[in-house]
Amino acid sequence: MNQSRTITATPCEHDHSGKSVSEQVNAARKICEQQDERFTPLRAHIYELIVRADGPIKAYDLLEQLRPDRGSPKPPTVYRALDFFARLGLVHRVEALNAYIACDHTHPGHVAEFFICERCDDVKETHAHSHENCAPNGFVISSSVIEHYGLCEICAQAA
């Protein structure tokens, strides 16, 4: 019999709005250095574009923004960078929108939980606690993303 558990989301304790783009890029650079990973100029530029988006951004939108500065990069270039950032916990993929969003905080075992407005596509992120204790026996979770759909406060008031 499956046991259901309530996972309580807690708002992120970090002040995202208080960090400048350069502070977020520098924090990402430090995380890469701590993991012995290279934060190349191209990766730095792509990460900066994601942070500047201030919300979910699609890979092809990143590609279009790269073209004026970086010639004609191909889609695999952007997808490799996105995979790299996701592996380090610097971005999350918002499955429903097929887009990525910057996450400047990495917590071991944290689960990204998104609240997605179906009208304006606004996305708010909170963090749920790890689901390790509710996984089936023997199942090892590599990552989790929880997406909730509805209306944001502004759209709900306008409805």
Separation of alpha carbons 8 and 118, rounded Å:
22
* Torsion on CA atoms 132, 133, 138, 144, rounded to nearest 10: -30
Separation of alpha carbons 94 and 109, rounded Å:
18
Instruction: Write the pLDDT tens digit of every residue in 34-86.
Output: 999 999 999 999 999 999 997 899 999 999 998 777 677 889 999 999 999 99
Residue 5: pLDDT over 50: no
Residue 143: pLDDT over 90: no
Percentage with pLDDT > 90 across the chain: 46
Residue 98, sorted as left (phi over 0), alpha (psi -120 to 50) or beta, turns out to be left
Domains of the chain: 16-102 (1.10.10.10), 111-158 (3.30.1490.190)
Count CA within 13 A, CB hemisphere, residue 93. Answer: 15
Average pLDDT, whole number, for the chain? Answer: 81
What pLDDT is attached to residue 108?
A: 52
Residue 122: pLDDT over 70: yes
